[in-house]
Amino acid sequence: MANTIQSLATRLTAVETKLTTLTGVNAPGVDAASIQELDARLTLVETAVSGLINKPAADAVAALIAAPATQADAPVDAVVALSPSANVPTAAGIVSDVVSTVATAPALADGTAADAVTAAVTAVVTAEPEVVQDPVAVTAAITDAVAAAPAVTDDAQAAAVTATVTDIITAATGVTPSDTTVAAVSDAVAACPVQDAVSDIVASDAVPAATANAIAANVTADSPSADVPAAAAIVTSVVSDVAQSDANTHPDVVDAVSAAVAAVVNAAPEVVQDPVAVTAAITDAVAALPAPATAVQDQVTAAVADVVASATGVDTVAPAVVAQVADAVAADPELDAIADRLTTVETQLGTLGKS
């Protein structure tokens, strides 16, 4: 019998119901009505199920990374035993080498840094043996996992994480990573998974409110506002509104809206609940992007203004705020940096010859 939207929707709803029982995560509660909605909801389910399957290994790796440096074999062996590679000697040896690399390292005090390293090691522990034994595949798995972890924004911590992940790749592949691979790891450490996830939402077709709310709840779960109901409601509303909007396909619009929404998701709860502060967070994030093509600046401005409206709870954004958004959209970080340097030399030059 050929698959139909209804038959797959019925199966998906049953899976979502079971997942709700296991995790408490909210599900739409109604059958999907389109391929796009099926795809969006199934993606959430796949992510949740993968998390449940990998949780024992991820928890064991996190505990090992948080512990003081140790040469004890038992914790390493216990982690390796959780791997699909445990019964494949060559692959198990690689997993053991990777786990030992972090087991003998000092504990990481910074939570975000620890999360990134945990993601890198867990990617190896939970990978299938054929991936573990393929240097290219295991390097990609590690880099992708780090990119999906929260961004490490502190420069010193980011450098330390990049070095540690490079050591993990060396342990996994038996060779020192190339400069290109190290650069890719550095980019992954700094990558914002929220922005990537939102980018997919922005570029996707509109989904019904129930599905949009489920998608938004999934994104909000990783926000600093997650445990502050009033702030969480704002974050959820912003993401849900974007999910219910028509797809944006122009790269400049996608980038700007993704940055704007990510700024809300990643902001502290007190910022999210302050209309002036959250507007500033949005415009600062947009201003940090390269300026879009002149022909689409008005379109980008309107799209970002819609995010501001969602975040601040207004139907129409005030003209002064629209102007603030337009200035942010038109800003060019490279020109701004040159302007700052030029101001410095102008000031220095003005002081020459003065006593």
The predicted pLDDT at position 354 comes to: 59
Query: With the C-alpha atoms ordered 193, 194, 200, 202, is the resulting torsion angle positive or negative?
Result: negative
E-strand spans in the chain? none
For residues 283 and 58, the model is more confident at 283
Pick from 70, 66, 173: nearest CA to 127:
173
Amino acid at the residue 31: D
Reading the block at residue 346, the tokens are 């102008």
The predicted pLDDT at position 170 comes to: 96
| Count of other CB atoms within 10 angstroms of residue 279 | 24
Q: Band of the pLDDT at 165, cuts 50, 70, 90?
A: very high
What does the pLDDT look like over 331-352, one tens digit per residue? 988 888 888 889 988 888 877 7
Q: Band of the pLDDT at 70, cuts 50, 70, 90?
A: low
Indicate the helix (H) or strand (E) that contains 110: none
Mean pLDDT lowest among 69-73, 117-121, 134-138, 228-232: 69-73
What does the pLDDT look like over 10-41, one tens digit per residue? 998 898 888 888 877 777 888 888 888 888 88
Pick from 18, 103, 109: nearest CA to 61:
103
The predicted pLDDT at position 338 comes to: 87
* Average pLDDT over all residues of the chain: 90
What does the pLDDT look like over 181-211, one tens digit per residue? 999 999 999 988 888 888 888 888 888 888 8
The predicted pLDDT at position 73 comes to: 47
The predicted pLDDT at position 19 comes to: 85
Give the residue-averaged pLDDT of 62-78: 72
What does the pLDDT look like over 40-51, one tens digit per residue? 888 888 888 888
For the chain, what percent of residues have pLDDT higher than 70? 97
Residue 72 has pLDDT above 80, yes or no: no
Give the residue-averaged pLDDT of 261-289: 95
For residues 105 and 233, the model is more confident at 233
Reading the block at residue 102, the tokens are 């972090």
The predicted pLDDT at position 146 comes to: 95
Place of tokens 């998390």: 51
Residue 307 has pLDDT above 50, yes or no: yes
Q: Band of the pLDDT at 98, cuts 50, 70, 90?
A: very high
Q: How far apart are CA 286 and CA 280, in angstroms?
A: 10
Query: Measuring CA to CA, how many Å separate 175 from each of 119, 181, 185, 300?
Result: 21, 12, 15, 45
The predicted pLDDT at position 195 comes to: 85
The predicted pLDDT at position 69 comes to: 60
Half-sphere exposure of 51 (CA within 13 A, CB side): 13
